[in-house]
């Protein structure tokens, strides 16, 4: 596997830790890094049930490496954006759910990476922005599709039109992150969540990763049909039947336990 030094990948039991490790450039994402992310998420090792992506240093990621944004012709520009799309599709529609643990700057392409993940944990130091507006460019790594689903179109438009910076506290209120934790405790929270995710039935995780987004993108009538199909398939698996029996016979945890 061709993984650059700026990406550290480590498997511990059922969790894959993927660290963006380029702190001297504030984890700015160059071509090598985005291709490394594509490789890692296309080759999730056997036994891994959840991945965590996080950043070394004071920031999750400063976004696209602007020093590589040289004069590209139109076709090269399209290919570059499509490379990001390909890589982040592997994150969103890969083999396992991905938890992003963010802190410091989570901006531009960094926010695009975080929004391709399934849930986000933010430390208090986090701030979110889309500086593309100020740099005279447009998002190219999937934000225009994924971010409005998290925060709504008006908020994304505001971030790009005015350069608005969203704080960690605002982020959790508007749906950018699902958890807000103190500085330095993001990874611990990410691991706690990853362990819960890893203990789910495989079919449930599959449905949430691959079917729910399609339901959201479809019309009501197709969506409801997809839901019925998924509900029936999942409840017919031996794993689900075992879990239901465990509850009915008093062996399973109650809600909240
Ligand atoms: C970079 C980048 C970068 C830092 N590309 N080199 N993203 C942005 O427009 C964000 C630009 N970055 C910043 O606003 C700040 O760097 C931060 C707020 C993230 C952090 O500030 P700070 O004071 O901690 O660091 P710094 O001193 O600004 O940067 C340290 C070094 O990292 C410095 O290099 P050095 O060689 O002078 O030490 C910076 O040049 C370098 N650096 N950010 C390249 N982004 C798929 S399309 C997505 C489109 C986008 O993502 S556009 C948004 C780009």
Joined tokens for residue 210: 């691959």
Average pLDDT along the chain: 96
Judge whether 181 and 121 are in contact, CB under 8 Å: yes
For residues 92-108, give the mean pLDDT: 98
**67 or 70, greater pLDDT:** 67
Instruction: Tell me what percent of the residues of the chain surpass a pLDDT of 90.
Output: 88
Angle at 114 between CA 152 and CA 159, to 5 degrees: 40
For residues 170-186, give the mean pLDDT: 98
SS3 state of residue 184: coil
- Span from the CA of 227 to the centroid of ligand 1 (angstroms): 43
pLDDT at 2: 85
**208 or 134, greater pLDDT:** 208
What confidence category does residue 257 fall into, taking pLDDT thresholds of 50, 70 and 90? confident
Judge whether 11 and 48 are in contact, CB under 8 Å: yes
pLDDT at 72: 84
pLDDT at 256: 84
**169: annotated active-site residue:** no
| Pairwise CA distance, residues 244 & 204, whole Å | 14
Residue nearest to atom 44 of ligand 1 (CA): 65
Least reliable range by pLDDT among 50-59, 109-118, 203-212, 240-249: 240-249
Q: Is the CB of 131 under 6 A from ligand 1?
A: yes
First to last CA, the chain: 41
pLDDT at 139: 96
**DSSP letter, residue 117:** S
For residues 135-145, give the mean pLDDT: 95
Which residues does residue 10 pair with via DSSP β-bridges, in sequence order? 17
Residue 125, pLDDT above cutoff 90? yes
Which ligand 1 atom minimizes the distance to the CA of 66?
Answer: 5
Residue 86, pLDDT above cutoff 90? yes
- Span from the CA of 61 to the centroid of ligand 1 (angstroms): 8
- Name the nearest CA neighbour of 85 among 51, 112, 66, 58: 112
What confidence category does residue 198 fall into, taking pLDDT thresholds of 50, 70 and 90? very high
For residues 193-208, give the mean pLDDT: 97
Cβ of 244: how many Cβ atoms within 10 Å? 12
| Dihedral pair phi/psi, residue 229, rounded to 5° | -60, -45
| Pairwise CA distance, residues 105 & 69, whole Å | 20
**132: annotated active-site residue:** yes
For residues 173-196, give the mean pLDDT: 98
Judge whether 10 and 43 are in contact, CB under 8 Å: no
Judge whether 194 and 50 are in contact, CB under 8 Å: yes
- Span from the CA of 93 to the centroid of ligand 1 (angstroms): 28
Q: Is the CB of 136 under 6 A from ligand 1?
A: no
| Pairwise CA distance, residues 171 & 127, whole Å | 8
- Span from the CA of 201 to the centroid of ligand 1 (angstroms): 41
The catalytically annotated residue of 32, 56, 112, 192 is 112
Q: Is the CB of 65 under 6 A from ligand 1?
A: yes
**240 or 228, greater pLDDT:** 228
Residue 70, pLDDT above cutoff 80? no
Residue nearest to atom 15 of ligand 1 (CA): 62
The distance of Cα 132 from the centroid of its chain, to the nearest Å, equals 20
- Span from the CA of 182 to the centroid of ligand 1 (angstroms): 24
Judge whether 159 and 148 are in contact, CB under 8 Å: no
SS3 state of residue 114: helix
| Pairwise CA distance, residues 142 & 145, whole Å | 6
| Pairwise CA distance, residues 32 & 26, whole Å | 15
pLDDT at 46: 96
Q: Is the CB of 28 under 6 A from ligand 1?
A: yes
Residue 247, pLDDT above cutoff 90? no
What confidence category does residue 168 fall into, taking pLDDT thresholds of 50, 70 and 90? very high
Place of tokens 């079917």: 211
**DSSP letter, residue 61:** B
Place of tokens 């030094």: 5
Judge whether 215 and 226 are in contact, CB under 8 Å: yes
Least reliable range by pLDDT among 70-79, 97-106, 132-141, 190-199: 70-79
Q: Is the CB of 25 under 6 A from ligand 1?
A: yes
């Amino acid at each position: 596997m061709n993984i650059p030094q700026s990406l550290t990948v480590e498997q511990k039991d059922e969790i894959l830790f993927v660290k963006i490790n380029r702190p001297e450039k504030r984890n700015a994402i160059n071509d090598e890094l985005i291709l490394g992310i594509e490789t890692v998420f296309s080759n999730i090792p056997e036994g891994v049930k959840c991945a965590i992506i996080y950043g070394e240093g004071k920031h999750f990621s400063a976004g696209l490496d602007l020093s590589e944004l040289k004069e590209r012709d139109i076709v090269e520009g399209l290919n570059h954006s499509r490379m990001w799309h390909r890589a982040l599709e592997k994150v969103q529609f890969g083999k396992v759910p991905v938890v992003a643990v963010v802190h410091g700057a989570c901006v531009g392409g960094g926010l695009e990476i975080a929004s391709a993940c399934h849930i986000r944990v933010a430390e208090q130091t986090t701030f979110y922005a889309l500086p593309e507006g100020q740099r005279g460019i447009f998002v190219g790594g999937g934000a225009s599709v994924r971010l409005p689903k998290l925060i709504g179109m008006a908020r994304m438009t505001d971030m790009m039109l005015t350069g608005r910076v969203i704080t960690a506290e605002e982020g959790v209120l508007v749906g950018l992150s699902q958890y807000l934790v103190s500085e330095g405790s993001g990874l611990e929270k990410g691991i706690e969540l990853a362990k819960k995710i890893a203990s789910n039935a495989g079919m449930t995780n599959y449905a949430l990763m691959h079917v729910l987004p399609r339901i959201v993108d479809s019309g009501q009538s197709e969506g409801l049909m997809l839901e019925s199909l998924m509900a029936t398939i999942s409840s017919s698996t031996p794993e689900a039947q075992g879990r239901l029996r465990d509850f009915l016979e008093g062996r399973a945890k109650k809600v909240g336990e």
